[in-house]
Amino acid sequence: MAEETIFSKIIRREIPADILYQDDLVTAFRDISPQAPSHILIIPNVLIPTVNDTDTAHEAALGRMVTVAAKLAKQEGIDEDGYRLIINCNRHGGQEVYHIHMHLVGGRPLGPMLSR
Verify whether residue 101 is a known catalytic residue.
yes
**Angle CA(115)–CA(6)–CA(36) in degrees, nearest 5?**
35
Helix (H, G, I), strand (E, B) or coil at 39: strand
State the catalytic residue, choosing from 39, 58, 92, 101: 101
Classify burial at 38, counting beta carbons within 10 Å of its beta carbon; exposed 0-12, middle 13-18, buried 19 or more: buried
Helix (H, G, I), strand (E, B) or coil at 45: coil
Query: Which residues are catalytically annotated?
Result: 101
